[in-house]
A = this chain, B = another copy of it.
């Protein structure tokens, strides 16, 4: 995207005297270039991975798996005890694990016995993602007082 297009978006007049150099133009220009062309869509890793971290169950799954390897049902049982909500449905657990496996964060070890045994664990990549999650949680934790304050002040 060219800078003059950005100027039009911002309704910034052409700089004739050099006084209208809106700093947002250069900053937006950098942002657009950093995002690439075309910009990442919903299926792009950047979007998907952050969406995973933001969904209801994946963060908890990552945290639990960072303590070790688990069978499917054991994982379900642990989530049911540890979460604030009613517990995860078998369907959702499978969906989430599949998504995490698909992106290389979770390894699935299948033993074709009766009954079958399937062991889920974090890959090194998944452990890295769990670390990122921890750092993010740490930031929120450190700022939760201020967030709570903002929430209370938000009675407008």
Contact = CB atoms under 8 A, between A and B. Distances in A.
Contacts of A28: 64, 67-68, 78, 82
Interface string A76-103: 0110011111000000000000000111
Contact of A139 (B32, B41, B83, B132): B132
A30 B66 CA distance: 12
Interface stretch (A13-21, A46-54, A112-120): A46-54
Contacts of A101: 154
Given A68-B23, A68-B27, A46 B9 contact: no
Q: How many copies does the complex hold?
A: 2
A41 B101 CA distance: 26
Interface string A37-75: 011111001100111111110010001101110100010
Contacts of A70: 24
A109 to B, nearest CB: 13
Name, among A55, A64, A82, the residue most crowded by chain B CB atoms within 10 Å (CB to CB).
Answer: A82
A125 B102 contact: no
30 contacts: A1-B81, A9-B77, A27-B67, A28-B64, A28-B67, A28-B82, A31-B82, A32-B82, A39-B83, A39-B84, A45-B148, A46-B137, A46-B141, A50-B54, A50-B59, A51-B54, A53-B54, A54-B54, A54-B55, A103-B147, A103-B150, A103-B151, A104-B147, A104-B151, A104-B153, A125-B143, A125-B147, A125-B150, A132-B135, A132-B139
